[in-house]
Structure 1
Amino acid sequence: MNEESESKLEWWTRVIKNVGNWLAHKDKVKWLKDMRGLLCVVATVIATMTFQSAMNPPGGVWPPGGVRPPMPIAREKIKQSQCGQVVCPGQSVLAVVLEDEYELFLIWNTTCFVSSLAVCLLLVSGFPLNHRFFTWLLSIGMCITISSLTLTYLSVVDMTSPGDLWVENFFIFRIVLYIWISLLGLVAFVHSLRIFIWIVTLWIDRRNKKP
């Protein structure tokens, strides 16, 4: 029984190491150098975009002065807002008119902004990028950043598109979203498999070193 269990363990060890070698980068030093530069640029650009989206929200803001909104529903909602005025200067128009949709936009935009800043922080913090765990952490951070950016875009399109146009073309956005979720799941699976194989390989090596 011991010989059989040892042979099975050796077989699984070979399989795990072969999969790990297949998923490993051939020129890891060059890949890490290129990835660091690209991630820094991409994360900085995304952080700038999301910051501008918060400062200049879709639909604009109410200007100062006695400008009255054209829609009766907008006038009624603004009267019931926390400002207690007919017009709240500097307040987002869509935050008052479309509260639920704008709340989703804020959630995804904030998630994208914070995750992109987290990626920038990891890149400049001095952590060893050749360590498998930090590489995995950066990859997952970028997956969260790009996914929340995608959802931010969909939220903006939902708020700014006419209702009939959005309903007629919603199936296109649904298909694109499903494709994106599938691609994201594949990338997350590959990176999770890498970190899992790395942990198992460490455990196997330590086990083999024991007398």
Structure 2
Amino acid sequence: MDKKLLDAAMAGDTAALKDLIAEDPLVLDRALVSCVSETPLHVASMLGHLGFVTELLSRNPELASELDSHGSTPLHVAAAKGHAEIVKELVLADPGVCAVRNGDGRTALHVAAAKGRVKVMRELVRVGNESTRALTDRGETALHLCVGCNRLEGLKVLVEAAGSDDDFVNWKDCDGNTVLHIAVAKKQTEITKFLLFKTGVNVNALNANSATALDILMQSPRDLRDMEIEDSLRGAGAQSAKDVRNIAQDWVRAPTKERQISRHRGSALSSRVSVSMKPAGNKKPTDWLGRKRSSLMVVASLLATVAFQAAITPPGGFWQDDLQVDENGNPVASPHTVGTSVMATKQGKEYGLFMIFNTISFLTSLSIILLLVSGLPIKRRRWMWIQMVIMWVAVTTLVITYFITLRHMSPNDENVQIMLRKVTEISVLTWLTLMVVVFFGNVIRMNLWILRKYGYIKSKEVDDELEEVRTED
């Protein structure tokens, strides 16, 4: 490219461009045929010189379709930089440039989606919905790129442009992943909620590994966002791949409008009642054990962290110096060593209680984590109840540790001690009351479960279905 033309493009100097064209009418044509990496339109589009871009396009519209050394058009460059007005001028000059893919296999809309350039995306979508259907080399739509780069606002623009086209929202990439699979894998809470409740995404779609979005969540490393995402998925009817296949098999085998009530091990009626052959995906699943396992894992991890921190930073801190003898060389009454606990030196009995209860809380929390990740067949309700009891022990001992710490940190002032005693009495009484209520509540639930299991009482779901059958008959 001529140096003067390059300088004019970098400065956005329209007057200089006109002077150059007046001196040499073929200066722009020479820029097209020269072996340079960028045309003056690429440079002006990248730097946002709207007036210079408009003048170039009016003189030579062919510049809009030229490629640089990376296979990018000026539209790719302007879209990446977020220059919406320049994008508008380039599209008016050559609408077909929207479909051109660069060296990475991406169109200008793909680039804008990955960068989160919302205004640019609106301009490109306005040209025609065909550009939104373009795919990358990995079979990804612009939706996949928005979700992969966590661009919620850009995602909303594309969904609005798609309207009622659910096929677009449910498009799968080369790995069979929909945008919901990607959002869940990246733990994007807001995007997951938007896809579930504002679009027609298939919540139980299977990817190339035959996994649903719920399967991906359960197989990923657990963190605090998982519970919120899982609640959203289950609220939208999400199921595991195993459950989806079972429902599909039941749909094929069962006759339309047939009701089946089967007997199980001599009991009066089974809890399984097939009322209609409508897919069960419309019913909210009740994976009680799965939710409990997830909750126990999160809570146990938090308790173990708190207990570990309390052990390495006990109340009162650590001695910062050594004191074994006085200034005359005589042994002191209360010697101490640097790095040892102040509480252990001054209040040995209270320190012993503190460490006992804190250690119990720490080890019981770790035991729950170990059981959950051990792979042992402990997925029955009775095993879950045992782990819940262990959790009660961990929480209770941590509460005791808290009150020991509070007592140690409080001064010996009479008013302070009276207030501390009252607070402790009220708190302990409230805690014991809560524990008793929880204990008897679970005992009642366990008894009801045993009675239903052995047929002494009927399941409420079976009674409801039978009543509906009698009514329709």
TM-score, normalized by the shorter chain, greater than 0.5: yes
How is 1:51-66 mapped onto 2 (pairs within 5 angstroms)? 51-66=308-323
Measured against aligned partners, the alpha-carbon deviations of 1:14-57 in whole angstroms (never above 9, x if no partner) come to xxxxxxxxxxxx9541x322222222121112112111211121
Rounded Cα–Cα distance in structure 1 between residues aligned with 2:377 and 2:286: 13
Rounded Cα–Cα distance in structure 2 between residues aligned with 1:190 and 1:142: 16
Q: Does structure 2 retain, via aligned residues, the 8 Å contact 1:136–1:192?
A: no
Q: More helix per residue: 1 or 2? A: 1
Give the residue type in structure 2 aligned to 1:137: I
User: In the alignment, which residue of structure 1 is the partner of 2:300?
Assistant: 43
Unaligned runs of 5+ in 2: 1-283, 326-331, 456-473
Structure 1 residue corresponding to 2:372, chosen from 103, 120, 123? 123
Give the residue type in structure 2 aligned to 1:145: A
Q: Does structure 1 retain, via aligned residues, the 8 Å contact 2:319–2:342?
A: yes
Q: Does structure 1 retain, via aligned residues, the 8 Å contact 2:319–2:337?
A: yes
Q: Does 1:153 align with 2:402?
A: yes
Give the secondary structure class of the aligned counterpart of 1:188. helix
Unaligned runs of 5+ in 1: 1-25, 69-74, 79-85, 206-211
Rounded Cα–Cα distance in structure 2 between residues aligned with 1:66 and 1:88: 6
Rounded Cα–Cα distance in structure 2 between residues aligned with 1:59 and 1:67: 20
User: In the alignment, which residue of structure 2 is the partner of 1:8?
Assistant: none
Rounded Cα–Cα distance in structure 1 between residues aligned with 2:377 and 2:389: 16
The offset of 1:198, in angstroms, is 4.4
Identify the structure with bigger relative contact order (alpha carbons < 8 Å, sequence gap 6+). 1
Runs of 4+, deviation exceeding 6 Å: none
User: In the alignment, which residue of structure 1 is the partner of 2:386?
Assistant: 137
Rounded Cα–Cα distance in structure 1 between residues aligned with 2:382 and 2:317: 42
Rounded Cα–Cα distance in structure 2 between residues aligned with 1:48 and 1:120: 12
Rounded Cα–Cα distance in structure 1 between residues aligned with 2:441 and 2:408: 35
User: In the alignment, which residue of structure 2 is the partner of 1:208?
Assistant: none
Q: Does structure 2 retain, via aligned residues, the 8 Å contact 1:128–1:134?
A: no
User: In the alignment, which residue of structure 2 is the partner of 1:187?
Assistant: 438
Rounded Cα–Cα distance in structure 1 between residues aligned with 2:439 and 2:376: 22
The offset of 1:192, in angstroms, is 3.1
Rounded Cα–Cα distance in structure 2 between residues aligned with 1:95 and 1:144: 25
The offset of 1:62, in angstroms, is 1.3
Structure 2 residue corresponding to 1:175, chosen from 417, 426, 448? 426
User: In the alignment, which residue of structure 2 is the partner of 1:93?
Assistant: 342
Q: Percent identity?
A: 34
Q: 1:27 to 1:178 in 2, by over 3 A?
A: farther
Measured against aligned partners, the alpha-carbon deviations of 1:123-156 in whole angstroms (never above 9, x if no partner) come to 1122445412111111101111111111110010
What TM-score do the two structures reach when normalised by structure 1? 0.68
Rounded Cα–Cα distance in structure 1 between residues aligned with 2:428 and 2:314: 23
User: In the alignment, which residue of structure 1 is the partner of 2:92?
Assistant: none
Q: 1:97 to 1:65 in 2, by over 3 A?
A: closer
Max radius of gyration: which structure?
2
Q: Does structure 1 retain, via aligned residues, the 8 Å contact 2:323–2:337?
A: no
Give the secondary structure class of the aligned counterpart of 1:58. coil
Give the secondary structure class of the aligned counterpart of 1:63. coil
What TM-score do the two structures reach when normalised by structure 2? 0.32
